Amino acid sequence: MAREARMRAGLTQEDVAERLDLHQEVYGRIERGSLLPSILTLRRLSLVLHVPADELLGIASTHPSALTHSPPARRDSPQVRRLIRSVRELSASRLRTLSLLISHFRRRD
């Protein structure tokens, strides 16, 4: 259930793991069903994927949740999200260098 919800949300396993503050391998095991999430993780997963916890657990719900109707705040491509994660890990000097490079590219376009 989590995989389908993640795919509908247009997220990668890495995206979801980051939002849950889990290692990607741990989230992958949860998604494959080889590891049960804690109640807190299940709740957070429900919020990240915009689906009720009942759906993630495979329990049919007769009342649709408001969470399933909220649009995601932003729809960046997986490539852009990976770049953002990489940029967050750069040192201050490398970040300045990257900023100069981006400025150069933008002037060329």
| pLDDT tens-digit series, residues 65-109 | 544 555 455 688 889 888 989 999 989 889 889 988 888 888 886
3-state secondary structure (DSSP) of residue 35: coil
pLDDT at res. 62: 52
At 2, give phi and psi (nearest 5°).
-65, -40
Q: What is the CATH number of the domain that holds 19?
A: 1.10.260.40
Q: Model-level pTM?
A: 0.57
The count of domains in the chain is 2
Summarised one tens digit per residue, pLDDT across range 61-73 is 555 554 455 545 5
Q: In terms of residue numbers, what domain contains 91?
A: 77-109
Query: Are residues 71 and 18 located together in one domain of the fold?
Result: yes
pLDDT at 76: 83
pLDDT at 1: 84
- 55 and 96 together in one domain: no
Same domain, 68 and 33: yes
User: Measured between alpha carbons, how far is 85 from 38 in angstroms, rounded to an integer?
Assistant: 26
| Alpha carbon distance 79, 17 (integer Å) | 16
Q: Are residues 65 and 86 in the same domain?
A: no
Residues 61 and 25 in one domain: yes
Please tell me whether residues 23 and 63 are part of one structural domain: yes
